[in-house]
Amino acid sequence: MIQHRPYTQKVDVYSFGIVLWELITGLLPFQNMTAVQAAFAVVNKGVRPVIPNDSLPVLSDIMTRCWDSNPEVRPPFTEIVKMLENAETEIMTAVRKARFRCCMTQPMTFD
């Protein structure tokens, strides 16, 4: 968009990778930049959010592929859905473990 290229679904794929990163980290990307600075850094310098070391490899792979600097290399959503479906058990197990760890460090509440 910023380089005045035609808008395709590949822009949405990049955005999906960002949303996935936000869900995993609970953070906003590029917090130390304005929106214009972030857009410039992404497009002209290839800057991407840092993927946490403890991310599931399948999710790290999806984010990395969604953020490829060449939009044509980014996977279509049909492939992303298949990747997520194939990793569903692994993802859900990790989510349950994360919730359990959270509950062990904080008092349980009944709300």
Pick 5 or 2 by higher pLDDT.
5
Work out the pLDDT band at 4, boundaries 50, 70, 90.
low
Residue pLDDT, tens place only, 36-68: 999 999 999 999 999 999 999 999 999 999 999
Q: What is the rounded distance in angstroms from the CA atom of residue 60 to the CA atom of residue 64?
A: 6
Q: Which CATH class is domain 9-105?
A: mainly alpha
User: Residue 105 pLDDT > 70, yes or no?
Assistant: no
Angle of helix 57-66 versus helix 77-86 axis, rounded to 10: 170
Determine if the pTM surpasses 0.85: no
**Of all helices (H) and strands (E), which one includes residue 15?**
helix 9-25
Work out the pLDDT band at 97, boundaries 50, 70, 90.
confident
